[in-house]
Structure 1
């Protein structure tokens, strides 16, 4: 079972990346929290890995920190929460916000996560509240600068939102409202965060 990988970052997108380890390319699924902190292409990258074995596939889930991986594994212990749902939860909420919401029993906040309804949010609180000691929130990953990548970041934000389960048209409208209300250049992280807030408002 693969627990970690170190190699050259050959490709990156908001939901997955390719890590070249001595000529072998590994396709790794990642949350947005990991994507925000990725280096430039061709840089050396070390990831914490969870290997998920199914009858029809072997999936690799990658995380920039041990904290993210531990949170992911803890989420998958909740009934009805599989690996991809856990990844979506980490993409929608930073670990610190997730811990705060569960500790406070903030079901409404958890319901803003795509794919998490009222019952699922209640299960997260019920089943994880006593396990919060295993989670150790740390500083947020740095935002990715915009610079000349303004349009590319907008496209990446749109891709991230649709991969989180939002309809394409709804995601486009949310991004449009964010860019109208905040004309100053925003980082990719800020674009996604503000768009998620717009989508949560309906």
Structure 2
């Protein structure tokens, strides 16, 4: 029987990635073993080489079901994103999607990688695909998409996505802080 996979998101603050930040999906694998240690590292926000190595060892030596393998690839990709290793992260997200084409978190993360590279339109497209698949924390995907809209100079769309992120998770400060930069004029 496979361990249950639960997805979580990581958000990079806008200030950390030059003009825009990106949300990435980390797969939390319950149970023991290196796949679980990999998911714990991704969720905890680690970006060290040892965490990547644990993920790689899990992929190379642990018998994992398809969805768990895809989740572990997502986790390693999230860690790579934190390290600004966008090509490596992209390969992990692509490999996860090759295994599980309906994995919304992999699309959201791939979108985050594009946003971090200032490929905003591609980021929006990937996040839209991920949102259509129902990720576990859509508010973080909306937050990242808002960052991409800002990169595309569509402030209305950015404001709407920050609002949506805050609506989905009212206790989250990140979208609230971003919204303070906006002034809404009524016609």
State whether TM-score is above 0.5.
no
Task: Please state which structure has a larger fraction of its residues in helix.
Answer: 2
Task: Please state which structure has a larger fraction of its residues in strand.
Answer: 1
Question: Given the two structures, how large is their TM-score scaled by the length of structure 2?
Answer: 0.26
Question: Given the two structures, how large is their TM-score scaled by the length of structure 1?
Answer: 0.25
